[in-house]
């Protein structure tokens, strides 16, 4: 299964400027998603002038949104909200224009709780990785 931005918006509530995935597909090993950081995103304008770097919290959000296809069928009437992050590491800076590739797999799924292992790469180099936990809640 592959989804583009428009199709992902049917599953996720995120919209510009917080929709941080361009393309996502399920593979035998999990999910692979792509996001190209815009040339002048709002979140780098003050982080840092003259050397714009994507903040770590935005990288975590890119990894989270890039993992949504793993549990898409559970999102019909639910929202996936962060429940936690564990062992998140930042290994390389990400800049405007970079294409971030997210690889994710389900680590554990129990009732309304799902945890995934996610890794974000730029040009084949790991820039961030960690375990992300979500709690599924009613959309209303």
- Residue 39 is classified by DSSP as S
- Alpha-carbon distance 42 to 54, whole Å? 10
**2-138 fold:** Thiol Ester Dehydrase; Chain A (3.10.129)
Q: Per-residue b/e over 67-86, b at no fewer than 16 CB within 10 Å?
A: bbbbbbeebeeeebeeeebe
Written as six digits, the tokens of 46 are 């003050």
pLDDT per position as a tens digit, 54-78: 999 999 999 999 999 999 999 999 9
pLDDT, position 140: 79
pLDDT, position 93: 97
Which residues are the active-site residues?
47
- Alpha-carbon distance 62 to 32, whole Å? 12
Q: What predicted TM-score, i.e. pTM, was given to this entire model?
A: 0.96
pLDDT, position 98: 98
Written as six digits, the tokens of 35 are 């996001």
The domain segmentation of the chain, as residue ranges, is 2-138
Give the contacts of 58 (CB within 8 A, at least 6 positions apart): 20, 43
Q: What is the mean pLDDT of the chain?
A: 96
Q: pLDDT confidence of 5, banded at 50, 70, 90?
A: very high
Residues in the chain: 140
- Alpha-carbon distance 62 to 18, whole Å? 9
Average pLDDT over residues 36-44: 96
| H-helix segments, 1-140 | 5-8, 56-65
């Amino acid at each position: 299964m592959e989804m583009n931005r428009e199709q992902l918006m049917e599953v996720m509530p995120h919209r510009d400027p917080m929709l941080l995935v361009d393309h996502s597909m399920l593979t035998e090993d999990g999910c692979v998603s792509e996001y190209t950081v815009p040339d002048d995103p709002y979140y780098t304008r003050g982080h840092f002038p003259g050397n714009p770097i994507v903040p770590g919290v935005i990288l975590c959000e890119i990894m989270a949104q890039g993992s949504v296809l793993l549990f898409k069928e559970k999102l019909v009437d639910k929202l996936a909200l962060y429940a936690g992050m564990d062992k998140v590491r930042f290994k390389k800076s990400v800049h405007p224009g970079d294409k971030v590739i997210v690889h994710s797999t389900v680590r554990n799924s129990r009732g309304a709780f799902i945890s995934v292992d996610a890794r974000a790469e730029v040009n084949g180099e790991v820039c961030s990785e960690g375990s992300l936990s979500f709690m599924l809640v009613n959309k209303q």
